[in-house]
């Protein structure tokens, strides 16, 4: 820079003198710096709000009005030159850094990257599909029903008497009680048996359907979750017998747990079937031969695990859904998916299915 001293008055020299040589000092200072941060800091010390140049500018107040223009131009020129020095130093630094990078040891491009773990389906959903597939292969079709269900479909048409302690046995989450007429009252379905009512009301026999999904009960303790999953199946046609029910469920058990898995039927009570039964399969956690049976905590030493409820559809359920019980008969069954998953994968504690611990879920 050339400061044109000839054109400035005696009162301006202090500003001009201060500008003198400032570029050389700046250039020298920048040349010793080896990081962008250091360069920017040096720039701020000179050109920033509290910088040296800004301080010099304050001296402008003393410059007589008729010389302000010239001194101002000089100051602006210096500022532009300083900016240019800074930009050049930055470009120079980047070039040096790049050269050093190229000269240094090369990156190992063959080094494996960090793996991105792939997710997969939850064991409950895997088992749900597996079970539905087995029934599909036995000739059943898939049906669907809503989780928010009419009370009549969940209880009444399944022959639960009005005073039935369903609220004890299947403590219910009500969705809509206040003011709703009885026939429009809704709840979170307590079981998938409500799908029977819907399908039988909408379609005449023959029907062979399975339906899976979430169900809800006001239960929450170590062995119960307020939300769990069930699969319901039913077959309605002419002359359906209990023997067919046993045949279908035996074939199902053997496909799911293996040919040699035993199944047994015990009489039991559900309002919507007559006769009703519960089915047990042989415990998969222990065996008599290796002496682990007596101490087995899962089957409590009995060798049997309860897996489903079933029975012949009650004539009053057929009637309530518009099917003539004199002409048609049917069987139905309902099973808990979490329970099946536990037996399928040897999981002794139901809670781990809902804790979502990746160390557990990664094992499937």
Closer to ligand DAH by CB, 45 or 171: give it: 171
- The answer to whether 276 and 269 are in contact (CB under 8 A) is yes
Residue 113's CB: how many other CB atoms inside 10 A? Answer: 5
- Binding of ligand DAH by 321 (CB under 6 A): no
Specify the 3-state DSSP secondary structure of 292.
coil
- Gap between the Cα atoms of 97 and 141, Å rounded: 68
| Nearest one of 198, 193, 188 to 270, comparing CA atoms | 193
Question: What is the helix (H) or strand (E) element at residue 278, kind and residue range?
Answer: strand 273-282
- Binding of ligand DAH by 310 (CB under 6 A): yes
Closer to ligand DAH by CB, 79 or 164: give it: 164
- Binding of ligand DAH by 145 (CB under 6 A): no
- Binding of ligand DAH by 232 (CB under 6 A): yes
Per CB under 6 A, which region of 4-12, 135-143, 308-316, 355-363 contacts ligand DAH?
Answer: 308-316
Closer to ligand DAH by CB, 3 or 323: give it: 323
* Site pattern 152..191 for ligand DAH (x: CB under 6 A): ---------------------------------------x
- Gap between the Cα atoms of 355 and 189, Å rounded: 23
The one among 140, 333, 339, 340 contacting ligand DAH by CB under 6 A: 333
Q: How far is the CB of 135 from ligand DAH (least distance, A)?
A: 13
DSSP class of 146: -
- Binding of ligand DAH by 330 (CB under 6 A): no
Q: Is the dihedral of CA 350, 353, 357, 360 positive or negative?
A: positive
Specify the 3-state DSSP secondary structure of 359.
helix
Q: How far is the CB of 115 from ligand DAH (least distance, A)?
A: 42
**Tokens read off for 268:** 């039991």
Closer to ligand DAH by CB, 86 or 234: give it: 234
């Amino acid at each position: 820079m050339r400061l044109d001293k000839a054109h400035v008055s005696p009162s301006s020299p202090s500003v001009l003198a201060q500008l003198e040589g400032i570029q050389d000092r700046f250039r020298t200072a920048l040349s010793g710096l080896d990081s962008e941060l250091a360069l920017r800091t040096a720039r701020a010390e000179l050109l920033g709000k509290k910088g040296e140049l800004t301080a010099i500018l304050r001296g402008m107040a003393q410059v007589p009005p008729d010389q302000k223009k010239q001194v101002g131009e000089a100051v602006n020129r210096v500022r532009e030159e300083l900016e240019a020095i800074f930009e050049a130093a930055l470009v120079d630094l980047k070039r040096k850094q790049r050269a050093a990078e190229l000269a240094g040891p090369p990156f190992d491009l063959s080094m494996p990257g960090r793996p991105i773990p792939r997710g997969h389906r939850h064991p409950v959903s895997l088992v749900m599909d597996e079970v539905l597939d087995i029934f599909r292969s036995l000739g059943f079709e898939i049906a669907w029903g809503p989780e928010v269900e009419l009370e009549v479909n969940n209880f009444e048409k399944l022959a639960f008497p009005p005073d039935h302690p369903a609220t004890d046995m299947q403590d219910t989450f009500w969705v809509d009680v206040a003011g709703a007429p009885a026939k429009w009252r809704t709840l979170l379905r307590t079981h998938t048996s409500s799908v029977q009512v819907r399908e039988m009301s909408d379609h005449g026999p023959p029907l062979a359907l399975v339906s899976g999904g979430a169900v809800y009960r006001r239960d929450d303790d170590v062995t119960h979750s307020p939300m769990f999953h069930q699969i319901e199946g039913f077959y309605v046609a002419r002359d359906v017998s209990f023997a067919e029910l046993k045949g279908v469920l035996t074939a199902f058990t053997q496909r799911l747990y293996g040919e040699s898995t035993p199944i047994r039927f015990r009489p039991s009570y559900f309002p919507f079937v007559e006769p009703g039964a519960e089915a047990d399969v042989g415990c998969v956690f222990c065996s008599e031969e290796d002496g682990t049976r007596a101490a087995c905590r899962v089957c409590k030493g009995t060798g049997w695990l309860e897996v489903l409820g079933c029975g012949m559809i009650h004539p009053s359920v057929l009637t309530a859904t518009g099917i003539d019980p004199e002409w048609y008969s049917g069987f139905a069954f309902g099973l808990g998916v979490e329970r099946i998953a536990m037996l399928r994968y040897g999981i002794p504690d139901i809670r781990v299915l809902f804790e979502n611990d990746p160390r557990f879920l990664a094992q499937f």
